[in-house]
Amino acid sequence: MALLRRTATITVLVLCVLSLASSFSLKDFVKHRYHSLKDKLHIEDDVELPLEDYIRRLNYPLEVHKITTKDGYILTYHRVQARGGNIETGKPVIFLQHGLISSSDAWIVNREENAPAFVLANAGYDVWLGNSRGNFHSKEHTFLNPKDQKFWDFTWDEMVKYDLPAAFQYISYKTGRKINYIGHSQGTLTMFAALSHKTPEIEASLEKFIALAPIAFLHHLNHGLIGKINSFKFLEVLGENPLQEVYSYSKRYKSTLVLCKISPSTCNIATQLITGETTSCVDTSRLPYMRTHGPGGTSLKNVMHFEQMMHTPHKKLPMFDYGPEKNKEKYGSETPYEYPLHKISGVEIHFMQGDRDHLSNEKDLKELKQILGENIKSEKIYNLCHSSFNYGHNTNDYVSDIIKILSK
Strand partners, 66: 76
Nearest to 302 by CA among 96, 74, 101: 101
Q: Are residues 350 and 208 in contact, defined by beta-carbon separation less than 8 angstroms?
A: yes
- Convert the chain into a string of H (helix), E (strand) and C (coil): CHHHHHHHHHHHHHHHHHHHHHHCHHHHHHHHHHHHHHHHHCCCHHHHCCHHHHHHHCCCCEEEEEEECCCCEEEEEEEECCCCCCCCCCCCEEEEECCCCCCHHHHCCCCCCCCHHHHHHHCCCEEEECCCCCCCCCCEECCCCCCCHHHHCCCHHHHHHHHHHHHHHHHHHHHCCCEEEEEECHHHHHHHHHHHCCCHHHHCCEEEEEEECCCCCCCCCCCHHHHCCCCCCHHHHHCCCCCCEECCCCHHHHHHHHHHHHCHHHHCHHHHHHHCCCHHHCCHHHHHHHHHCCCCCEEHHHHHHHHHHCCCCCCCCECCCCCHHHHHHHHCCCCCCECCHHHCCCCCEEEEEECCCCCCCHHHHHHHHHHHHHHEEEEEEECCCCCHHHHCCCCHHHHHHHHHHHHC
Answer yes or no: 137 catalytic.
no
105, 157, 163, 357: the catalytic one is 357
Instruction: Exactly one of 104, 185, 299, 387 is catalytic; name it.
Output: 185
Q: Is 143 exposed, middle or buried (0-12, 13-18, 19+ CB in 10 A)?
A: exposed
386 is catalytic: yes
Catalytic option among 358, 386, 387, 393: 386
Distance of CA 51 to the CA centre of its chain: 16
Active site residues: 185, 357, 386
